[in-house]
Structures are given as structure tokens and as C-alpha cells.
């Protein structure tokens, strides 16, 4: 069984990342200048994906919007891993102690708040914006990684190589960092890809309801929100940002599946 979804997934993700990076150097048109006379242009040779209600080039906006989506989701995964993995390792090293119990109950607590509710609460306090969207999605990622790490690390603690390390006099901290962490990296990479794609979806949802990146920063979710009232006038406005989200999320999911099959044949789900 080959990791057959690895290549298409990687290609789709590469396409989006390349578009985002390219937008720093070049976009077909400037996204900050308005050209009202040319509003609602249908896709043609000049504007490949048409223009919006302010005459801005859709393709250029999608390219710049990709930056926002990727940045928000990536940093949110970073927060989730950066806090969740150490917590999980700690809980596993002190399994069934009060500390373990505290960490796991804390996880349950965060799970009780859907990500969007966290975002709404944060927005109510600090106002909407990309940074607050990152924090909201990041908080939601912490228990995901903490649980995964704890579960995987617990099963490793009883293995011979850990026993050998303990006999050699290494403490829980060094064992966790030198022996456990390298053994669960694959697992974390795969989960990271999945959380990344969930993050893209969450960011789009948040900016759709106005809680994400604020104007004039283009974001896919807000482009969709703006298109809604114009849907009978210019359907292409609602089509392309959605497709951009689908391509990104699909690419990441395929990449995650492919990575799992490729990195660890034992985890293969394809039966």
C-alpha cells in the first residue's frame, strides 16, 4: 500500500503556499487600489477571476488572503503544540498523579467550549482581529495535542528502551525530551497537518462573521461575507474564495493522510 494521497495533497498545499509567498513580491493587480468603474467584471483575460464590488482583482485578493489564512492557522497550531505537547509529556511522566489529573481535567474544560465560543468571548473582550482569532483557535488546539502526546508517551514509558534510559540514571525530563519526543514526532506532524486544515476552516468561519482579520487585510472568509448580498448580481464573487478554502483544506487533509501512511505504516487506516 503506497501513500497515494501524499503527492496530490503536497501539490495542492504547495500551490497555495506558493501563491501566498508570491503575493509578497507580485500580484496581478494592487489589492489596495479601488477601480469602481471596473466593478463586477466577469472573469476574462485581464482579470482571470473577475473583480469585486470595488473593482479589485479577485485573484490578487485571493493570493494575499492566502497569507492571512496560512499565518493564522500555522501560528494557532504552533500555540497548540508549544503548550499542549509539554503538558502531555508532563502528564505522562507523572501518570495518575494529581498533576496528571489536573492537566486532563483542564483539557476537558477547554473541550467544553467550542472554538467559536472561545473566539466570541475573546472578541467580546479584546475586539475582533487576526491576533485574537489566532489565540482562540490556538487555545482549542492545546487539549488536542496534550491528549495525543499523553496517550502516546504513556505507552512508551513501559518500553525497554525507556527502562534502559532510567537504569542509566536519566530523569523524567531527559527521558521525555531525548527518548519519547523523537518517537512521537511522526504522530505530531500528522496531527499538526489535520489541525492546520481545521484552523484554515475556523479562520474562514471567524472572518466570515467579522471576528477575524479586519479590513483592509483581505481574507477569504470576509470576501465570502461581502459576496453574500451580491449573490444574484455577481455569483463569481461567492465562488472563488470558497474554492480557495476547499483546495487548501483538501490539500492539507490529503497531505495528512499521505504523511501518516508514509511515516508510519502501522498507523495506516486504509483497510
Partner 1 sequence: MLHYLLRRLGSLLATLLVASLIVFLVIEVVPGDPASYMLGMNAQPDTVAALRSELGLDKSGPARYLEWITGLVQGDFGQSYTYRTPVADMVADRLWISLPLALYALFLSTALAFPAGIWAASHRGGPADTTVMVLTQLGIAVPNFWFALLLVMLFAVNLGWFSAGGFAGWEGGLLAGLKSLTLPAISLALPQAAILTRVMRSSLLDVLGEDFMRTARAKGLSERQALLRHALRNAMIPVLTIMGLQFSFLIAGAIIIENVFFLPGLGRLIFQSIAQRDLIVVESVVMLLVFAVVMVTFLIDLAYAWVDPRLRQKRR
Residue closer to partner 1 by CB (options 14, 36) is 14
Centroid of chain to Cα 84: 15
Q: How far is the CB of 217 from partner 1 (least distance, A)?
A: 19
Residue closer to partner 1 by CB (options 37, 105) is 105
Q: How far is the CB of 111 from partner 1 (least distance, A)?
A: 7
Cell 483544506 belongs to 249
Residue list 225-244, contact with partner 1 (CB under 8 A)? 227-228, 231-232, 235, 238, 241-242
Task: Print the binding letters for residues 168-207 with partner 1: x by CB under 8 A, - otherwise.
Answer: -----------------------------x---x--xx--
Q: How far is the CB of 239 from partner 1 (least distance, A)?
A: 8
Longest pairwise C-alpha distance within the chain: 77
265 counts as binding partner 1 under rule CB under 8 A: no
Q: How far is the CB of 168 from partner 1 (least distance, A)?
A: 29
Q: Are 183 and 153 in contact (CB under 8 A)?
A: no
Report d(CA 206, CA 220) in Å as an integer: 10
Residue list 74-133, contact with partner 1 (CB under 8 A)? 105, 108-109, 111-117, 120-125
149 counts as binding partner 1 under rule CB under 8 A: no
Residue closer to partner 1 by CB (options 97, 228) is 228
Q: Are 142 and 91 in contact (CB under 8 A)?
A: no
Residue closer to partner 1 by CB (options 29, 220) is 220
In Å, how far are 13, 79, 124, 153, 264 from 268, measured between CA atoms? 22, 27, 43, 20, 7
Q: How far is the CB of 198 from partner 1 (least distance, A)?
A: 10
Task: Print the binding letters for residues 13-52 with partner 1: x by CB under 8 A, - otherwise.
Answer: ----------------------------------------
Q: How far is the CB of 37 from partner 1 (least distance, A)?
A: 26
Residue closer to partner 1 by CB (options 158, 232) is 232
Indicate which single residue of 208, 213, 234, 255 sits in contact with partner 1 (rule: CB under 8 A): 208
**Which residues sit at the interface with partner 1, rule CB under 8 A?**
105, 108-109, 111-117, 120-125, 197, 201, 204-205, 208-209, 224, 227-228, 231-232, 235, 238, 241-242, 245-246, 249-250, 253-254, 269, 271
Amino acid at each position: 500500500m503506497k501513500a497515494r494521497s501524499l503527492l496530490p495533497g503536497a501539490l495542492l498545499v504547495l500551490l497555495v503556499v506558493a501563491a501566498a509567498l508570491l503575493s509578497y513580491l507580485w500580484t496581478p493587480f494592487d489589492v489596495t487600489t479601488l477601480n469602481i468603474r471596473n466593478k463586477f467584471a466577469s472573469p476574462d483575460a485581464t482579470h482571470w477571476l473577475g473583480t469585486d464590488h470595488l473593482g479589485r482583482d479577485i485573484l490578487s485578493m485571493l493570493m494575499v488572503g492566502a497569507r492571512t489564512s496560512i499565518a493564522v492557522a500555522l501560528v494557532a497550531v504552533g500555540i497548540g503544540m508549544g503548550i499542549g505537547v509539554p503538558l502531555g509529556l508532563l502528564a505522562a511522566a507523572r501518570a495518575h498523579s494529581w498533576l496528571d489529573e489536573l492537566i486532563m481535567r483542564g483539557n476537558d474544560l477547554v473541550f467544553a467550549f467550542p472554538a467559536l465560543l472561545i473566539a466570541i468571548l475573546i472578541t467580546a473582550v479584546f475586539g475582533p482581529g487576526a491576533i485574537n482569532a489566532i489565540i482562540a483557535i490556538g487555545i482549542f488546539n492545546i487539549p488536542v495535542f496534550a491528549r495525543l502526546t499523553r496517550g502516546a508517551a504513556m505507552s512508551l514509558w513501559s518500553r525497554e528502551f525507556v527502562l534502559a534510559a532510567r537504569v542509566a540514571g536519566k530523569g523524567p525530563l531527559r527521558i521525555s525530551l531525548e527518548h519519547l519526543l523523537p518517537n512521537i514526532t511522526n504522530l505530531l506532524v500528522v496531527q499538526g497537518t489535520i489541525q492546520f486544515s481545521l484552523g484554515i476552516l475556523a479562520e474562514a468561519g471567524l472572518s466570515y462573521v467579522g471576528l477575524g482579520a479586519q479590513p483592509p487585510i483581505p481574507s477569504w472568509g470576509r470576501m465570502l461575507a461581502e459576496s453574500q448580498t451580491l449573490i444574484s448580481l455577481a455569483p463569481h464573487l461567492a465562488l472563488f474564495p470558497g474554492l480557495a478554502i476547499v483546495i487548501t483544506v483538501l490539500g492539507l487533509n490529503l497531505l495528512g493522510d499521505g504523511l501518516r501512511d508514509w511515516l508510519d505504516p502501522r498507523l495506516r487506516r486504509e483497510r
